[in-house]
Structure 1
Amino acid sequence: MIVAIVNNYVIFEKEYNAELCQMLIEENRKSITDRDKDRALYQLIDVHLLLGKVQKENYKIDEQLVYDNILDIMLQFPSKDEFEKMMTFYNISIEDLGNLIRDNLLVKIFIKKKFYDRIHFHKQQIRRFCKTHSEFFTIPEKLRVRHILIKGHTHHSFEKVNEIYDMIKNGYGFAFLARRYSDCPSRKIGGDLGYFIRGKMLPSFEKAAFSLSIGEISKPVRTYLGYHIIQLIDKIGCCQLRFDKVVDVLKKRLERIQAEIELLKYIKKLRDTAKITINYPIISKVRG
């Protein structure tokens, strides 16, 4: 059965099933959705649009690499029988799978050479990017706090948290009281919550914590959990990452993003100028 025709190339149901099968294996899933069917279809269409260009380049694929890829797929199954069941279910052979892998490897070589290997950002370009997107390279202010939590909003909870607060004012150690009275699992380590930045804690808790000086202890603070007493242990102010610390990673990331943008534009152009016929009734009948 014909699934689609891309220019003069015919995509048969077997090839389509092989693409679906490989996709499920790579994503460690056992059933397909309508979205999966569309993804597999357009993946195949794009591969064959690109293969039309690849054939002019005379690339060669090492058959050992094809075999290794097939072996990797087989090893993802609990047994050989399970692998063969999947292949039988989608009516595909090892040869079908190998052909699909070979085509995908050829396309990957083409994409790498035509897009990823050709795009290079210089330090001056990266420096300009850093200046115009400085928010990406700012490490926000963060606090380290201890707290004592008394759960609930009953009169008893309110009385208890205020009694503990009075004990702190009278000289009792915060960590000692946290271990003894706190309802939070952090009680085991003296109420220490570690470091956090803005937006990670409950609003009223966060507001109180960021208003403290190092060593200072808050009055009881109410949240939906109950009542908290907070002690600020440490504060690290916001700072900018040094350019020399990010330049190499950023260079690779920007080059990859730009290559992906150029590739998408290229594929869109190929799609727009290609003659593509899709047999939707056949696709809808594919088993999930």
Structure 2
Amino acid sequence: MLKKVISIAAMSFVCATAVFAASDKTVAVVNNEAIFESEYNEALAPVLQQFKAQTPAAEQTAENIKKLEDYVLSQKIDEVLVKQAIKKQSIKVSAKEIQDAVNQVKKSQNLTDAAFNAELKKEGITLAKFESSIKDQLAARKLITQNAASQMKTPSESETRAFYDKVMLKVKNDNAKTGLSKEDDALAGEIARLVKRASGEQAKIRIIAINTQGLSGSELKAAQNRVSEAKDALKEGQGFAVVASKYNSSEALRANGGDAGAVAKGDLSVVSSALDSAVFKLNVGGYTKDPIKTNIGYYFVKVEGKTAPRDTPVTYEEVKSDIQNALLQVAERKAVADYFAKLRDNAQIKINR
């Protein structure tokens, strides 16, 4: 009787698998390993959602969406190639390495265990899934290090100083000709921007950020009510940090009383130019009495300190390590790109889209 039950169960599983395989098409095959439409769509969905939320309607063209779809598929192909290479080269990641990496994430984000678990829950990710993702990342890093380490050399003193000179040209003039490659010129411009940021006026702030992005109906109404409640609490004289601890959407900001550290002019423009402007109009101790509406929600901000802009140029020694790290990162990106290109050249890849 038991054997019959097992046989029926096995037959049911085979039939179910056959039906699933028939309905779940393959979008690509990498060295005889299929990438199914379901897993591709799972990877595409959040990317597409973010694109639609942050991109003006006029730019949400079929052509741009197609580019996004192709990019996600390319990433999935690279993911399979990496996993195959990891398996082939028998690369292992220990439980301690995974735990150390998880602890580093918590530390870098200033998250308590409770806040970390709350963020995972908010993102709909289990701890096991997060640790599995960390394991894959660590294994991939080991793979890259073992196969592309020869290209990842810290730049010499002369190379670093020469690049510093190019950066200072960009500090003086954003459009200065550096004679560098397009990528290196862009890097010099980015470092110049950071140098100017470090040299300019800065403000230490606390924020109350109440998210409304992607909300509608009762959820949007509830968020708007929280904005009104936060405004009333501040008006009643409750401390800004106390109100921030209660009303911030982010668990991390609630945990630290809305402490957002130091910002320079322009930093907050990526959220809202009005928010950035408000910060540097406020005196120390002042805060916005009314919420500032942005594309992602409402903000209150308080300025707790200010640093005047420096009147002396940034020296080579001050930015030497930053420049070396930046140049090393460029070398690493190139090494990774070259390695992936090599993996692709040696692979059999068939795309079915």
- TM-score bracket for the superposition, by shorter chain length: 0.3 to 0.5
Structure 1 or 2, whichever has the larger Rg, is 1
Higher normalized helix content (fraction of residues): 2
TM-score by length of 2: 0.38
